[in-house]
Amino acid sequence: MTFPIAFYAVVFIASAGVSAVSVPWWRGWSIRHGLVDDPGHRKIHHTPVPLAGGLAVFTGMALVLLLGIGAIAAKGLPTQVLDKLDYGFEKRAFQLGSVLFGAMGMLLLGWLDDRQELSPARKFAGQFLIAALVSISGVRVTLFVPSILFSHGITILWILTVTNAFNFTDNMNGLCGGLAILGAGWFGILAAIHEQYLVASLAGLFTGAVAGFLPYNFPKATVFLGDAGSHLVGYWLAVLAILPHFYSYKHPGNPWAVLSPLLVLSVPLLDLASVVWHRTLRGKPFWIGDTNHFSHRLVRLGLSKVQAVLVLWLAGMILGSVSLLIL
């Protein structure tokens, strides 16, 4: 019994629709409650912009996921879909619950940072706690070292790195959202190829939710993701890279498979490494923002902001496609 590919399209369209419809409501809510990004140093906008994107993305994901879980519980899906997803939920229900709890935690942490600008230490502590809880739940990186402590450590490091990479990448209209769509899209394709239907569905859910928000953010932004959104985006992509079991020491397959997530997320990861390196060389704390991101450098080379974003999207698309060759 084959899994109907059309189901992924339904999930994508549903989450995109909910996310897109919710943006105007969350934008108004953010304005009423003062959740806006004011113009200032290093800012590219001249009027306050609501930080509603993350709330809209989460709404698109959460509502469609709840409807999907309800449909599975009520046996309201086609048999070929129900059998595959029901097996996944049965085997990984606790892990999925932990992942969703972590997503809410990251969203809340980012929202608090949007509201009152948390200190780097407090924000990092919150990220670390969420990553540790996810790892303890069993969602862990499995590499060549048969050690639980190593697995926990590398998992926490991975979630922290990817979360902050996307937080750093959210510096130009559409950049973070577009790279998130590309990353989740590639992870979804890879999971579907390996018949990991639940993971592919979660990737489609997330891709749709971000796609529903993106037209409000690119090329002209009427809403921003905010730290709430960039934290949610980075966290979810980090988890999507962990959930599939393409390789482990118990189930060896293609050992090069471990490079796949690095290729899919190479643009934000390389951008993070680059800016941290430059700030360290200049004696600046790496968490203090500047204009040395890839996007800023492309603009200084003569590209417009839109062109710079499109170039980085293209790079993400090309490098992500290489992961298909590896797997």
End-to-end CA distance of the chain: 23
Q: Which residues pair with 50 in a beta bridge?
A: 36
The residue ranking higher by pLDDT, 97 or 44, is 97
* Residue spans of beta strands (DSSP E) within the chain: 36-37, 49-50
Please, are residues 296 and 237 in contact by the beta-carbon 8 Å criterion?
no
Q: Which residues pair with 36 in a beta bridge?
A: 50
Nearest to 264 by CA among 202, 201, 185, 183: 183
Please, are residues 113 and 123 in contact by the beta-carbon 8 Å criterion?
yes
**Nearest-angstrom CA–CA distance, 11 and 30:** 27
> Is residue 316 in some structural domain?
no
The total domain count for the chain is: 1
**Nearest-angstrom CA–CA distance, 266 and 151:** 22
pLDDT of 251 > 50? The answer is no
Question: If you average pLDDT over every residue of the chain, what do you get?
Answer: 88
The residue ranking higher by pLDDT, 70 or 115, is 115
Please, are residues 259 and 326 in contact by the beta-carbon 8 Å criterion?
yes
> Is residue 42 in some structural domain?
yes
Most trustworthy range by pLDDT among 39-48, 62-71, 135-144: 62-71
> Is residue 279 in some structural domain?
no
- The SS3 call for residue 49 is strand
Which residues form the domain of 22?
6-248
> Is residue 272 in some structural domain?
no
Give phi and psi for 90, each to the nearest 5. -65, -40
pLDDT at 213: 97
Nearest to 237 by CA among 274, 266, 216: 266
> Is residue 271 in some structural domain?
no
Q: Distance of CA 234 to CAs 160, 180, 260, 268, Å?
A: 9, 8, 17, 10
Average pLDDT over residues 196-200: 88
> Is residue 297 in some structural domain?
no
> Is residue 127 in some structural domain?
yes
Q: Distance of CA 167 to CAs 24, 127, 204, 310, Å?
A: 23, 12, 21, 19
Q: Is 0.75 topped by the overall pTM?
A: yes
pLDDT of 253 > 90? The answer is no
What's the pLDDT band for 246 if we cut at 50, 70, 90? low
Average pLDDT over residues 99-104: 94
> Is residue 313 in some structural domain?
no
pLDDT of 209 > 80? The answer is yes
pLDDT at 245: 59
